Structure 1
Amino acid sequence: MEKATVLVVDDTAENIDILVGILADDYRVKVAIDGPKALQLAQKSPPDIILLDVMMPGMSGYEVCQRLKQDPMTCAIPVIFVTAMTEEADEQLGFEIGGADYITKPISAAIVKARVRSQLNLYDQRRHLEQQVQERTSELQQTRFEIIKRLGRAAEYKDNETGTHVIRVSHFSKLLAQDAGLPDSFCDIIYNAAPMHDIGKIGTPDAILRKPGKLDGDEWKIMQLHVNIGAEIIGEHPDPLLQMSRRIALYHHERWDGGGYPEGLRAEQIPIEARIVAIADVFDALTSVRPYKKAWPVADAIKLLEEESGKHFDPHLVLCFKKILPQVEQIRLQYLDEE
């Protein structure tokens, strides 16, 4: 088992030698003779625990601790103050700024070993619990995505489309969001939200969804209601994934020029996630075989996107989509339509 790393920080060589002598048999020990050096070492290769003198020239141990606790890379590392300052107020301050323990000089080897061992055990327990929470959270997120994906596939099957359509649209949407420079968190959420874009078709009559010919005026009005039905199915929740899913379901048939539905939004009034999914959805529908049509060549689909740039689609996103075509082609090959 690999030894834990202890960083000893003290401006006095004699104090460093004493602590190294106490700890070297059981731990990997690094040393720093001042605050800036301690911060540099902790950020470059975070130790498992820090033994920190308080009274040092230039930067006190209290200031070092405060900076450690402000840095996401080092904030969780337990800090034990080792100091000759014995006043209760000094000890209280040490705990208030994030110290885990407080050892007064002259030090006892037995106390130092016991306190270090105790804090390392607590730190290991916290890290283990955090890992378990992260793993469980990841499992729950994956389960949630699988449920959303299957609901999306249910809607697509009802519409004579294949289940892989929603998978491709998810990937296209994430790639497009990334190329548009949107944050990683947004890109992850749109990947998970995009499958719900046509969930409202579950509430659309089969006679309209599966009609081989062109819809008449009344039928088209009923067809357009699928976006409202989708928003109602998803509902209004504080969860960011469900919020984005609802916006996509409701607004992915809006048009850049204001001629879409259900609200006739135009340009940047349309949520960007809906503008992204609109392009991904139309491109995949055009380039896929359907019972009522053959698959369009990719070049023809791109030509339509270009012709509709500034009309149906966000012109900037159209340019971004053209840039990601090589990755889009890889996704299309990876997720071919199911027989």
Structure 2
Amino acid sequence: MLVAIVDDTPLNLTLMEKLVGRVGGCQAECFAEPLAALDWCERNEPDLIIVDYMMPGIDGIEFIRRIRALRDHDDLPILMVTANNERRTRYDALEFGANDFLNKPIDPHEFEPRVRNMLKLREAHLATRDRAVRLAEAVRQATAEIHARERETITRLARAAEFRDPETGAHIQRMAHYSALVARRLDMGEQYADEMLQAAPMHDVGKLGIPDYILLKAGRLSAEEMTVMKRHPAIGYDILKDSSSSVVRMGAVIALSHHEKFDGTGYPGKLRASAIPLEGRIVAVADVFDALTSERPYKRAWTLDKAIAFLREGRGKHFDPTCVDAFLRGWKDVLEIRKRFQDEW
């Protein structure tokens, strides 16, 4: 245990240092200058401070006040050395955070048990603090495990939709990372961007409710078939809504709104501009760009320049202009995502 002793009288310092050494398991750091002791305490964490009241520069009460202001917790025990008749001083010292007192002149029979008791108090405080840290770490690990299972469930749900759709897993990864990229470029915060990364893959989960003859049709859909296809946002929303998970709830919003268009010509709600949830506006850019630039068995991939021109042309019509601009500002990251997640046919 580390004991800091602050007293401007060398004889008192020597005496208290020897008495601390007799307690056992202790190391004393002695200071004749209170300001030097404060500087040391700022860089170290003593287990007990013994401080004299009458000192030049700053007295013991001011020293205690500064120590209490310096520490981020008040479990550091402090013993003040005063004359027995200085009652007003003791009251003030208690007010500013002293825990106990030693009388002048120092009595070795009083000194040792008081120091020992203060160090036992310190040990109890440290044990409580360590226990709190361990509990916090256990909670963090349990929460991380819950989030990991949640992410696994979300991934499996997204893959279930993939198996019924000619799109690839790489498309899901790319559009999810594009969505997170746009969220960051819009300064929505890292937590929001991470939730977008996890929620975006659920955008087409409603296709689980679309018949295969429509979903897998190679040619253009008829008007009746398109009407059925346009039900998948609402189906996805119904699958995901009311979840206890904030990520799944975000997935529900994305599923319902990612086919809306900024000018109000999209579906299913024909929402306009800011009436479309931001999550849907972000995913619309990410999903369309990747669909255009990806090769499929039934189509050739567009060039990047042609896809960029399509996004720019659709600003304010199909797409939210701020989302398009945010996507293009992150173009270097877009290219990195494309390189990282490549289709395997």
Give the TM-score category using the shorter length: 0.7 to 0.9
SS at match of 2:167: coil
Q: How many residues align?
A: 310
Say which of 287, 291, 306 aligns to 2:293: 287
CA distance in 2, matches of 1:19, 1:289: 79
Say which of 75, 78, 90 aligns to 1:79: 75
State the partner residue of 2:108: none
- The Cα RMSD (Å) is 3.7
Say which of 251, 255, 280 aligns to 1:249: 255
Q: Which amino acid aligns with 2:100?
A: T
Paired residues for 1:204-219 under 5 Å: 204-219=210-225
Q: TM-score, normalised by structure 2?
A: 0.76
State the partner residue of 2:283: 277
State the partner residue of 1:171: 177
Higher alpha-carbon deviation: 274-283 or 105-114: 105-114
From the superposition, tell whether residues 59 and 124 of structure 1 become closer, same or farther in structure 2 (CA, over 3 Å).
closer
CA distance in 1, matches of 2:139, 2:261: 42
CA distance in 1, matches of 2:48, 2:262: 57
Say which of 219, 222, 230 aligns to 1:224: 230
CA distance in 2, matches of 1:189, 1:78: 38
CA distance in 2, matches of 1:153, 1:303: 31
The question of whether the paired residues in 2 share the 8 Å contact of 1:86 and 1:104 is answered with: no
CA distance in 2, matches of 1:250, 1:155: 15
State the partner residue of 1:98: none
State the partner residue of 1:99: none
Runs of 4+ aligned structure 1 residues displaced above 3 Å come to 10-34, 45-63, 83-87
State the partner residue of 1:71: none
State the partner residue of 2:100: 104
CA shift at 1:203, angstroms? 0.7
Answering whether residue 269 of structure 2 is matched by residue 263 of structure 1, we say yes
Larger radius of gyration: 2
State the partner residue of 1:180: 186
CA distance in 1, matches of 2:174, 2:28: 50
CA shift at 1:139, angstroms? 2.4
The question of whether the paired residues in 2 share the 8 Å contact of 1:170 and 1:195 is answered with: yes
The question of whether the paired residues in 2 share the 8 Å contact of 1:252 and 1:277 is answered with: yes
CA distance in 2, matches of 1:202, 1:30: 74
CA distance in 1, matches of 2:30, 2:309: 63
SS at match of 2:124: helix
Say which of 327, 331, 338 aligns to 1:321: 327
The question of whether the paired residues in 1 share the 8 Å contact of 2:206 and 2:232 is answered with: yes
Say which of 56, 70, 73 aligns to 2:61: 56
SS at match of 2:270: coil
Listed as ranges, the gaps of 5+ residues in structure 1 are 69-73, 95-101
Q: Which amino acid aligns with 1:272?
A: L
From the superposition, tell whether residues 11 and 201 of structure 1 become closer, same or farther in structure 2 (CA, over 3 Å).
farther
The question of whether the paired residues in 2 share the 8 Å contact of 1:163 and 1:338 is answered with: no
Q: Which amino acid aligns with 2:242?
A: E
CA shift at 1:125, angstroms? 2.0
Say which of 118, 123, 129 aligns to 1:123: 129
SS at match of 1:105: strand
Q: Which amino acid aligns with 1:64?
A: A
CA distance in 2, matches of 1:194, 1:114: 55
The question of whether the paired residues in 2 share the 8 Å contact of 1:201 and 1:226 is answered with: yes
From the superposition, tell whether residues 301 and 26 of structure 1 become closer, same or farther in structure 2 (CA, over 3 Å).
farther
Q: Which amino acid aligns with 2:61?
A: M
CA shift at 1:243, angstroms? 2.1
CA distance in 2, matches of 1:294, 1:259: 27
Answering whether residue 298 of structure 2 is matched by residue 302 of structure 1, we say no
CA distance in 2, matches of 1:205, 1:311: 30
CA distance in 2, matches of 1:234, 1:228: 10
CA shift at 1:121, angstroms? 2.0
